[in-house]
Structure 1
């Protein structure tokens, strides 16, 4: 009787990956709550799943104001974690003091600037394999399904969280990509709104419209909430907290201020 042939390395690796996918739904998932019941109640486990891939995109008309809001939303999530963050990007326009305003210490951030768009997903995937990192951010215009699946598998193995910050070059590019399926566990869209009103002249706390467009195992939703504070925490506007219907506010945070939060102008 001849012994049963041993499977090739490639075949065994494929079997291991299939097994990990099969048990993925049964594994214990750690979560990071937002601290707002209206949002956490829509998410499985009551918070953002860690060790998974999440997408964050700018909403409204594409522009630097909404791009700043999406970036700060992502940075606020990272601020409520501990440990180093790898931030993969193409353009060196990320303004470190803005990250500090929402609680993300720039000393925690390691920057990796890719030479081209094709290299960025590889940087993200490689970063997700290192358990010494807390999270990896990838500023991507395109997120193919195959690449997102590889990221999700890497995140599940290492426990490192991935935030894919979608940065489209034009409205046409956004229209072509926004409806494409990915393996991300959640997909968020963030738009800037008029800031919270103050009893005296001035600019109040930033305010965003946050949309949970897609959530695996959860329920989509949309909220008008106050942007991240110095600890990365979101808040309910006063008119929602006390039940009133006032929606007055100043111009969207002041265009110069919002642009400066992303690009340092």
Structure 2
């Protein structure tokens, strides 16, 4: 994209943000709790930091796992309130899926930015009218670029998410240093069995994720099996795991016998 194209992109972005910023900003709290004690206990101040950059990726090739990372971010921003800027290379955002995770499509301004995803993200983060900014990033995200996004988020208090996308099962660039305050990995796992007496048969219940907190500045890395975001954007510990110990299933059965 040439200089003229970039100038037009930024002018259009500023105009569209100005039109939606009247819809209300998010609450001024410094953190946004998940309201799941196990998750909030692993994060400093008991929740996800506002005014900060966060990173999420799937646990494998983007075609299979990228949607889970996107819905994870959508659920968080659904509860944050206010308008959201979603930036991607191409127009592939599926609005009904966002709505299913609690994020009303009317709150979302989608920008197709080509190779200028990071530029559009930074511009959006510097605008005080947005409560959240999401950028879908293919390939490498340098430390300098992520620091710029972090500083921009700090200036306005918006929640920033980079969704790291890859066409490969294993991408070394996803492990490179980043200024993100938290780094998450999301994998889809079988949902609950339809019959309680057949625990080895996966079911068609609420979708489940293995949620890995890989890095948390001032927090504790951890992993959970959770039920995916509901229509209010809320996660929950898997119902059949929430009240059980972490002991392997075989040990529990021996103890019961």
TM-score (normalised: structure 1): 0.77
1:170 aligns with 2:171: no
CA contact (8 A) 1:144 1:182 kept: yes
- 1:155: which partner in 2? 153
CA contact (8 A) 1:56 1:165 kept: yes
RMSD: 2.2
Shift in Å, 1:247:
10
After the TM superposition, which residues 8-87 of structure 1 pair with which residues of structure 2 at under 5 Å, given as runs?
Answer: 30-59=30-59, 61-87=60-86
Shift in Å, 1:179:
1.7
Distance 1:47 1:182 in 2: 20
Shift in Å, 1:127:
0.5
Shift in Å, 1:85:
0.2
CA contact (8 A) 1:78 1:104 kept: yes
Q: Which sections of structure 1, spanning at least 5 residues, go unmatched?
A: 1-27, 249-265
Shift in Å, 1:203:
1.1
Out of 126, 129, 144, the residue aligned to residue 129 of structure 1 is 126
3-state secondary structure, aligned to 1:222? strand
Distance 1:243 1:29 in 2: 33
Q: Which sections of structure 2, spanning at least 5 residues, go unmatched?
A: 1-27, 197-201, 250-257
CA contact (8 A) 1:195 1:206 kept: yes
Shift in Å, 1:166:
0.6
CA contact (8 A) 1:239 1:246 kept: no
Aligned residues, how many? 216
CA contact (8 A) 2:58 2:66 kept: yes
Q: How far does the alpha carbon of each residue in 1:164-207 deviate from its partner, in whole angstroms, 9 at most, with x for none?
A: 00111334xx5230221010000000000001223499610000
CA contact (8 A) 2:76 2:233 kept: yes
3-state secondary structure, aligned to 1:212? strand
Range that drifts further, 233-242 or 206-215: 233-242
